[in-house]
Structure 1
């Protein structure tokens, strides 16, 4: 199977240049890796923890989705969806909540920070602490574990949440896996070398410092006005300037190629004025993001296009989430009350031999990829697989499903097509028992 990488984007603000360079651009580049299956989602449930302004939530979802699409996210290659469009996420959150220790949540950084702030202010320790804030790590674990993501790119401040997701997954596997791992244990992709742009004042570009350069907001004029406010030294045109350590040069480097960077430094050392240097920076950035801005503005003007993309992405995501959650429901005992499809109950074939309740069919599609499906005795397809480049990999999954029965469904790259809930799982258990 491909490596699954999952990225969540909280919808509480408008992206700026630092977001693009530090997160959006590298994530989109990574999504184009050939052996990666990417899941990108708008974390709008998470946003409700931080923001109680519905208009801001709504606007931010629109702007952030439009930004990612305009920046080149290929929705044919990735699943791009809203968290709130995946009902399996809150259901899994509850299943995970039931196995998560309160003591573990007491150690979460966000909760401890709120607790410490309240104590320092002489307030009740839990003043202003909602269950959303307190349980935030469990919702994040559900986001990750629902898709069995192998890698989750995060900053170092989020590493604890990935460790918590691993701990929760291990406990769930121990309680309900019956010797098999239902969940993959995710790895944190710590972005140690993440490119952090300086802001207008030289500090890290951040809304909290009010030093950001807008990505699309305000158009070309907004970009030019912001760059004009970048802090520089007092050297006049004609005086040599030291480029190293200049926030203006650091921002230029993020958008220019190596020869342009070298030329820019040489011109500054030769006396290029800061005003001319800022104009050069405007032109360099505009050459990169100007075409994106046009796409962005078109998307914001036609939000139905964004909605179509998100609904298509939700369809892809739910094709993975639905059958997996069904297997998790069965694992914890939330099973349909139907008769088991045992081989003895199957109709007798004309030869007098017992006909199996279900059987696997393997085949190759026109695109050259290998597939399999589980077909009931009456010809009904109960499940079908994703496409595999290697016939041996497809055969390996067939063997595992035949051997392990419904216990292998959680990790299997299949989608259920059963008309009676639980029919596929029952048929697999019957094959394994036989």
Structure 2
């Protein structure tokens, strides 16, 4: 049985070591497990709660995308997307909002902290508190429940949000009388759940104590590590590893043997400057190869856009049917009578039909063919050929090439297929990038089915 794992990072800044260790790395490792169905996303709606700097949010979306991919996330096995490309998420948020108790939101840590800060300075309790901040837990619940995720990797400070998502899901299930949602569970990697920053507090952009992951290269990484706050113990004096942020960061990247050796060195009196150099060298050995991939990705933003659109199409293929079911459940039903369900045998027979070609002759005497999916959707219309043998040869080539080898790309508002650099066929027009990405996925699947039929 597959376990669906979902996590995201808010796009308000440049990825740092804490993001990588606390969320990105464990998520990527989980995605390599064949029993895991991985969903990872850029939480750019959440970013709007924390930042009104449009340029910052835009840059962060790109940087975080490149970071996940450079870290080893395979978009062919994981579902990788932007939150804002999934309209079902905000729609689900509203449905959940309508069953969420205000008292539950009053207890959210972020909201309570904002209120407490205002009271300390004798301000109105809700001064500067937006509805977005207050509703943050419901949006996070929608992120999770839209895909019925089983596990959500989070830091300890986010456990409450998972508990609230469970409460909200249970309330919705109870109110509308069905188990629409599974109960998500928080997943924490104990040793690296929260990475300390330069000042020993949790590494966070809000504390301005982060260590960069890729930005600025090796030079910036080393310079920042040298700023980690340590105590006043001189070289030769034993160092306490329990409260040393430097040691905690090292342990998050090192093997058990390396960790023991470093702890022994600290207790043996190694100087803090030398210890920081050891930390830098250990981090750089892991980060340098990823940084090279990151720089290459940042130079090709169009490629990343295609990956995200494909991921959004995969995600919406799951979220959209669930939202249709939820609309029915809450009474937002169509006035048209429901169509009678097809017999199971007929459905199975329909699904068993392979993709097919249909050849025809244009009014001008030239020859073309169409490629239809198993359900009858037209996927491709070939360019016209004066020679029917040329059209037939192309048909045969498409029948055997498979989905992975096909060169398919977006052109204006439709998709095209190229063979030997030339456009040989075109798809229908689509309203947006995500719809085109979904069309590309269906086309690749159809070509893979054709090739498999040839091999059978």
Instruction: Give the length in aligned residue pairs.
Output: 357
Number of the residue aligned with 1:58: 58
CA change 1:242–1:190 in 2 (3 A) is closer
CA change 1:224–1:93 in 2 (3 A) is same
Number of the residue aligned with 2:241: 244
Shift of 1:45: 0.6
Q: Distance in 1 between the 2:114 and 2:247 partners? A: 38
Matched, 1:22 2:22: yes
Q: Secondary structure at the match of 2:348?
A: strand
Equivalent residues in 2 for 1:110-259, closer than 5 Å: 110-177=110-177, 180-232=178-230, 239=236, 241-242=238-239, 244-245=241-242, 246-259=244-257
* Structure 1: gaps of 5 or more residues: 344-354, 367-378, 383-416, 418-434
CA change 1:75–1:124 in 2 (3 A) is same
- Which digits, 9 at most, give the CA deviation of each residue in 1:146-185, with x for residues without a partner? 11112222233323322322222223223334xx311112
CA change 1:288–1:380 in 2 (3 A) is closer
Equivalent residues in 2 for 1:80-95, closer than 5 Å: 80-95=80-95
Contact persistence 2:39–2:79 (CA under 8 A): yes
Equivalent residues in 2 for 1:419-434, closer than 5 Å: none
Q: Secondary structure at the match of 2:222?
A: helix
CA change 1:268–1:106 in 2 (3 A) is closer
Shift of 1:267: 5.3
Number of the residue aligned with 1:429: none
TM-score normalised by structure 1 residue count: 0.73
Q: Secondary structure at the match of 1:361?
A: helix
CA change 1:227–1:161 in 2 (3 A) is closer
Contact persistence 1:156–1:191 (CA under 8 A): no
Q: Distance in 2 between the 1:153 and 1:167 partners? A: 18
Contact persistence 1:342–1:357 (CA under 8 A): no
CA change 1:364–1:194 in 2 (3 A) is farther
Q: Distance in 2 between the 1:247 and 1:167 partners? A: 35
Q: Distance in 2 between the 1:318 and 1:166 partners? A: 22
Number of the residue aligned with 1:279: 277
Shift of 1:7: 0.6
CA change 1:303–1:336 in 2 (3 A) is same
CA change 1:265–1:91 in 2 (3 A) is closer
CA change 1:197–1:46 in 2 (3 A) is closer
Shift of 1:220: 0.9
Shift of 1:192: 4.4
CA change 1:242–1:85 in 2 (3 A) is same
Contact persistence 2:154–2:187 (CA under 8 A): yes
Shift of 1:117: 2.9
Contact persistence 1:169–1:185 (CA under 8 A): yes
Moved more, 307-316 or 107-116: 107-116
Moved more, 94-103 or 320-329: 94-103
Q: Secondary structure at the match of 2:289?
A: helix
Matched, 1:361 2:359: no
Shift of 1:82: 0.6
Q: Secondary structure at the match of 1:205?
A: coil
TM-score normalised by structure 2 residue count: 0.70
Equivalent residues in 2 for 1:408-423, closer than 5 Å: none
- Which digits, 9 at most, give the CA deviation of each residue in 1:46-105, with x for residues without a partner? 111111110111111111121111111121221111110001111111222222233333
Equivalent residues in 2 for 1:333-352, closer than 5 Å: 333-342=331-340
Matched, 1:316 2:314: yes
Q: Secondary structure at the match of 1:6?
A: strand
- Note the aligned Cα RMSD (angstroms): 3.1
